[in-house]
Structures are given as C-alpha cells and as structure tokens.
Amino acid sequence: MTSTFAFFKRFIPCWVVTYCLASILHTQMVLTGLVQVDVAIPVADWVSMTAYDLWGLLPAYGSATLGAMLIAMLIVSWLVQHQSRMLTLVLCMCAGALAMLVMLLAMQPIMQVTLIAGARSSVGMALQCLAGLLGGLVYAMLWHHQRHE
C-alpha cells in the first residue's frame, strides 16, 4: 500500500469524525444558548437543526476543518513514524485539538467575526477542540492498525 493511500485511509475517517462532532457540538451550544434565554425548542427542531447544520456548515466549516486537520495530521505523521503506540496516541490527539484551536483563533482576525457561534465561549471552544482531539484519536487508532496489518 502506498504511503499516500495509507495516509488518506487514516485521514478521511479522522476528518469525518472531527467535522461531524464539531458541527453537532456547535449546534448544541447555540440551541442551549437559546434555551437559556427562555426560547422553547421542541426535540424535533433540535434534531432537524442539528442535521441542517451538519449539511449547511459543510462547505465553509468542513473545508476549514479539512485544511486544519490535514496540516496537523501530515505533521504528526512525520513526527510519529518510529514512536511508541502511547506517544503516537498522545501526539495525534494533541495535534487534532491544536488544529481546531488554531483554526478557530485564526478565523477572528482574518474574517473579523467568529463564524462558529458555538465556539464563542470557552466551553464552546473547548468542545470544538474536543472534536479535534477525538479525530486525532481515530487517526492514531487507524495508524496503529495499519502498522500491524
């Protein structure tokens, strides 16, 4: 298996997990904020808004997470080539979380707005980083699996 193909076999699931979790967590933060100001939101609307955001955020936020995670996983792939399973796991998870943090922090000065409303608070920012961390975990698990095929 070529190294490029192997990389993308790890990267695509990593990005899908990261983007889906980031989008879902963003929506839940926004809806929770509305509930806190006494807006009644039926469960069906929670579900439909979550699904709508998953699809609706894909062009802009999906592309941004793709770019951030791609850079992070390319760098971490180079760093962990001959490392232990535990160090690979830690580095991949940190790289994913850091990629999301840097991407979100970079959006503000570039676009003069925080596009991801769910990341405007420290809790929201932490949840977005958690999405990257879990994406990095997927990447590390697939890395280990490929090394032992």
Confidence check: pLDDT of 106 > 70: yes
Provide the domain limits for residue 133.
3-147
Confidence check: pLDDT of 145 > 70: yes
Confidence check: pLDDT of 75 > 80: yes
Average pLDDT over the chain reads 91
pTM of the entire predicted model: 0.91
- Spatial neighbors of 136 by CB under 8 A, at least 6 apart, are 14, 72, 73, 76, 92, 93, 94, 95, 96, 97
Confidence check: pLDDT of 149 > 70: no
Number of domains in the chain: 1
CB contact at 8 A, 143 and 80:
yes
Q: How far apart are CA 103 and CA 127, in angstroms?
A: 14
Residues 2-14, buried b or exposed e (16+ Cβ, 10 A)?
eeeebbeebbeeb
Taking residues 103-119, report their average pLDDT. 77
Confidence check: pLDDT of 1 > 70: no
